[in-house]
């Protein structure tokens, strides 16, 4: 795919700005609890309240949702919870060196029900590889969806991954209903655990974006 110089410059500047924002949130490299597609922040704000010793970061594409999430942080006076408006894979590529994931939460991600749109789903094999790079052995990824076919596809590809396996016995550390959970008729959940196999480096970024200009800075 060809990108115009103006587009590449725009993306590069956006990544610099994001990196600056993340360095301010995470001045010292440390493990974080990450929620991708956090929506209004219901779950993570509650999680940060219940677990004040954990540092929590929520990410969502939509600024209106992040604004509502930030209001929860202010209201509850949380100093261990941050919300960032950005795309999930862009976030992964812009994180400061040394930041690792203690837990990763993906709750009710957009299902993209049409087959030709499945490539837009967040939770795919290359997503697991991307988060594996910052997940020490034992990191758990909590996935919940009300879309049965999405759940089944993740359950089907998980056993093929070199870096993650399904943990059938893992407890769900916190139950707190999200906006989309409240609307769902039912849902399915699974937990994946990072195994000891080494992560393969991945050059993949959000569909339609040029690769990172400095991939080594994200390791
Ligand atoms: C169906 S909503 C679920 C929100 C929340 N987790 C809940 O359960 O109420 C999916 C959310 O993911 C966000 N989202 C979708 N794709 C994303 C991406 N690639 N990166 C970051 N956020 C994304 C959307 O903006 C939306 O807020």
Q: Is the pLDDT of residue 215 over 80?
A: no
65-94: pLDDT as tens digits? 999 999 999 999 999 999 999 999 999 999
CATH, residue 87: 3.40.50.150
What distance lies between CA 201 and its chain's CA centroid?
17
50-64: pLDDT as tens digits? 999 999 999 999 999
CB within 8 Å of 212: residues ≥ 6 apart: 15, 93, 203, 205, 218
Number of domains comprising the chain: 1
**pTM of the predicted structure, to 2 decimals:** 0.89
Tokens read off for 52 = 């004040």
pLDDT at residue 196 in the model: 83
CA of 65 to the centre of ligand 1 (A): 9
Is 69's C-beta closer than 6 angstroms to any atom of ligand 1?
no
Is 65's C-beta closer than 6 angstroms to any atom of ligand 1?
yes
Q: Is the pLDDT of residue 209 over 70?
A: no
| Nearest CA-CA partner of 140 in 180, 189, 176, 102 | 102
pLDDT at residue 201 in the model: 45
pLDDT at residue 211 in the model: 52
Is 37's C-beta closer than 6 angstroms to any atom of ligand 1?
yes
Q: Is the pLDDT of residue 186 over 70?
A: yes
Least confident of 87-96, 142-151, 190-199: 190-199
Residue nearest atom 13 in ligand 1 by C-alpha distance:
37
Q: Supply the range of the domain harboring residue 123.
A: 5-218
What mean pLDDT comes out for the span 177-204?
A: 83
Distance of alpha carbon 131 from alpha carbon 30, whole angstroms: 15
Strands of the sheet with 140-145, listed across from one edge = 81-85, 56-60, 31-36, 100-107, 140-145, 188-194, 164-166
Q: Is the pLDDT of residue 109 over 50?
A: yes
| Sign of the C-alpha dihedral computed for residues 6, 8, 9 and 11 taken in this order | positive
CB 164, CB 132: distance < 8 Å: yes
CA of 79 to the centre of ligand 1 (A): 23
Residue of 110, 146, 167, 185 with catalytic role: 110
Residue nearest atom 3 in ligand 1 by C-alpha distance:
108
pLDDT at residue 143 in the model: 98
Q: Is the pLDDT of residue 197 over 90?
A: no
CB 1, CB 211: distance < 8 Å: no
DSSP string, the chain: ----HHHHHHHHHHHHHHHHHHHHH-SS--EEEEEES-TTSHHHHHHHHH-TTS-EEEEES-HHHHHHHHHHHHHHT-SSEEEEES-HHHHHHHPPTT-EEEEEEEES-----SGGGGGG-S-SHHHHHHHHTT--TT-EEEEEES-HHHHHHHHHHGGG-SSEEE-TT---S-----HHHHH-S--EEEEEEE-SSPPPP----STTSPPPS-GGGG-
Task: Note if 17 is an active site residue.
Answer: no
1-47: pLDDT as tens digits? 678 999 999 888 999 999 999 999 998 889 999 999 999 999 999 99
CA of 109 to the centre of ligand 1 (A): 5
| Residues making up the chain, counted from first to last | 219
CA of 34 to the centre of ligand 1 (A): 13
């Amino acid at each position: 795919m060809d990108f115009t110089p103006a587009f590449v410059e725009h993306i590069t500047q956006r990544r610099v700005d994001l990196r600056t924002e993340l360095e301010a949130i995470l001045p010292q490299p440390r493990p974080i609890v990450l929620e991708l597609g956090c929506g209004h922040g219901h779950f993570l704000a509650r999680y940060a309240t219940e677990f004040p010793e954990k540092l929590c970061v929520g990410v969502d594409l939509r600024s209106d949702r992040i604004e509502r999430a930030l209001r929860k942080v202010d209201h509850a006076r949380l100093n261990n919870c941050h919300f960032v408006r950005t795309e999930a894979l862009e976030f992964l590529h812009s994180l400061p060196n040394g930041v690792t994931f203690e837990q990763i939460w993906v709750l009710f991600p957009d299902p993209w029900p049409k087959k030709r749109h499945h490539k837009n789903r967040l939770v795919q094999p290359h997503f697991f590889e991307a988060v594996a790079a910052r997940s020490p052995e034992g990191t758990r990824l909590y996935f919940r969806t009300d879309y049965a076919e999405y759940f089944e596809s993740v359950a089907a590809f998980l056993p093929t991954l070199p870096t993650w396996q399904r943990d059938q016995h893992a407890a769900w550390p916190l139950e707190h209903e999200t906006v989309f959970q409240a609307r769902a008729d039912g849902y399915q959940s699974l937990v994946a655990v990072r195994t000891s196999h080494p992560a393969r480096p991945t050059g993949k970024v959000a569909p339609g974006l040029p690769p990172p200009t400095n991939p080594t800075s994200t390791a």
